[in-house]
Amino acid sequence: MTEPNRPGRILVIDDDRALCELLEEDLRRRGHQVLTALQVDSARELLHAEEVDLVLTDLNMPGTSGIDFCAELHGNRPDLPVVIMTAFGSLETAIAALRAGAYDFVIKPVDLDLLNIALGRALQHRALQEKVRLLKDQVRRQQPEDELLGESAALQQVKQQITRIADLETSVLISGESGTGKELVARALHRQSQRHEGPFVAINCAALPENLLESELFGHVRGAFTDAREARKGLFVEASGGTLLLDEIAEMPLSLQPKLLRVLQDHRVRPLGGSSEIDCDVRVIAASHRDLDDAVGQGRFRSDLYYRLNVIQLELPPLRERGNDILLLALNFIQQLSRKFGKSVTGLAQPAAACLLGYHWPGNVRELRNVIERALALSYHDLITVEDLPEQLRQPGSEKPLPASLVDPGTILPLEEMERRYIRQVLDQLDGNRTLAARLLGVDRKTLYRKLKEE
């Protein structure tokens, strides 16, 4: 299937044989595979027998018009983008083409460079649609909701590390930004270990004040403090035979760290106020979004405890470095939350998917889930659209193709402005390399410089 910015297989439909031949020659020169038809009936036969990535059709032809054929294709093949050529560059013509399902339109006489830009966007759209479809198929095959979800190289490396160390009894330190899924990794380690039939217990060390945290971890005897009306075993004992996750370990008060170190060394715990120790057979996994090396250097974390916890370290990649995992996770959240809220949303519209891929995700997977939950609450459609996303995901800087805005006559942009925006977007993606941009856009450098000077 066509990848973004790559050549595609294009069907050209026009009753003007000379124009068909001109377009075929130019498109082949740019690396595309081209099929041609002089009438709609012939095009139908070709589409029945051949697979194409894009249809480029004239507006006015004998019999079925380009707009009617576009509407027919949109009903039968909504995944197939259609670009319409028209000699009538009016607002009414543009809106009619878009309402019929056209991805874009170009004005005759055709400027081959502008046509190349339009076709490039349409092929990118097609490729992203296919990518979303494949990811939806992967989501359907996924395991439990707490399974680590993703196909990126960065996450695959984490999964391989989990498989290698799951059966070890050594302590593990999981590091990574907030929201990257550290608890999911801890659960995966537990699930794949020999302790999987034992309990998995998690506590956030930053969520409780010092006195309550000590009692929660180590337990207490009756009367140990004012509200201790009954004895409590503590999480180390409750997790015996299984795994204990100490999340946000960097926030553990310095006064409690020696007691934690002793438990890790001796595998015995003394409840608060108690006079005897209790055996606890537990594997400890610690997690933190802070740099524990810095905490040790600043005297906020004991170095001996750090080395005891950091026998093996797993570093989780931020979501922005996981590429298409963003879409895979988004589609998984859509399925989960649609069932939960009784919504009929099934996926992402292509421009919304592009917004998700272009965002930097400072809150990582947790932020992505919140964005999808908000979008589901606001959505009136079967697909989440750009309008359902929060404002920070819709900021300018990666302008979307013109057709999405043409539906609203008040937001129509001239073709020249659309071209300038696309050139700026390509340059941004190529770090300002104008030579490479000109080659990818199919124009010479002088033409590119001229178009940039016209801004």
Kindly tell me the burial class for residue 83, based on how many C-beta atoms sit within 10 Å of its own C-beta (0-12, 13-18, 19 or more).
buried
| Pick from 413, 437, 414: nearest CA to 116 | 437
Tokens, residue 196: 């999987």
- Residue-level pLDDT at 70: 86
Q: Which residues contact 247 (CB under 8 A, 6 or more apart)?
A: 182, 183, 202, 203, 204, 205, 206, 286, 287, 288
Q: How many CB atoms lie within 10 A of CB 412?
A: 15
Residue 60 · residue 66 · CB < 8 Å: yes
Compute the distance between CA of residue 213 and CA of residue 147 in angstroms, rounded to an integer.
Answer: 29
The pairing of strands 268-269 and 278-279 is antiparallel
What is the DSSP code string of 411-444? G---HHHHHHHHHHHHHHHTTT-HHHHHHHHT--
- Residue-level pLDDT at 331: 85
- Residue-level pLDDT at 160: 92
Query: What is the pTM assigned to this prediction?
Result: 0.61
Each residue's pLDDT tens digit, 351-380: 888 889 889 999 999 999 999 999 998 888
Question: What are the structural domains, with CATH classification, of the chain?
Answer: 1-141 (3.40.50.2300), 142-146+320-394 (1.10.8.60), 153-316 (3.40.50.300)
The fraction of the chain above a pLDDT of 70, given in percent, is 82
Q: In 3-state terms, what secondary structure has residue 57?
A: strand
Compute the distance between CA of residue 223 and CA of residue 232 in angstroms, rounded to an integer.
Answer: 11
User: In angstroms, what CA-CA distances link 390 with 35, 125, 407?
Assistant: 42, 22, 21
Q: Enumerate residue ranges in the chain where pLDDT < 50.
A: 1-5, 140-143, 396-413
- Residue-level pLDDT at 401: 41
Question: For every residue of 269-288, which 3-state class applies, written as one string?
Answer: ECCECCCCCEECCCEEEEEE
Look up residue 3 and give its DSSP letter: P
- Residue-level pLDDT at 454: 59
- Residue-level pLDDT at 303: 94
